[in-house]
Amino acid sequence: MTARDDRPGRFSHPALMCYYAAMSDVRDITLEEIIAKLRDIAPAIQAEGVTKLAVFGSRARGDARPDSDLDVLIDRTARGASPPFDPFKVQHLIEDATGLQAQISMRDLLKPRIAERIAEDLIEVF
């Protein structure tokens, strides 16, 4: 059971307080700004094993809300290749640059049905 404070609809549970704090800091950013920021950090992303990067989903379609995440599709170097691929570092680089929560998908791991569905939305960044 979660405790409530005096204000209706406000939770005092620490995890929910963190959630509300994070959600109040949502960012509205244009697709053009996102692409520019991703291109600015392309050398750092490529140094982590990314060979291609595209944006898809609501931000690519133009129907995102300020709190929508950023869906990113990447191609990566082969396993064992240099530089090695580090998905967590790539995610953090993207999130730090854009101020948005990033959802990373790898092209080689997509199921064909999903690849077809997102193909219409894809906007190549590099």
Over residues 3-16, the pLDDT tens digits come to 444 555 555 666 65
Quick: pLDDT tens for 14-51: 665 554 455 445 568 999 999 999 999 999 999 999 99
Map out the domains of the chain as residue ranges. Answer: 28-124
Fold of 28-124: Beta Polymerase; domain 2 (3.30.460)
Q: Amino acid identity of 8? A: P
Neighbours of 65 (CB within 10 A): 9
- Per-residue model confidence (pLDDT) at position 86: 86
Quick: pLDDT tens for 81-105: 777 788 999 999 999 999 999 999 9
Matching residue, tokens 């392309």 = 42
Q: For residue 33, how many C-alpha atoms fall within 13 Å in the half-sphere facing its CB? A: 11
pLDDT confidence bin for 60, thresholds 50/70/90: very high
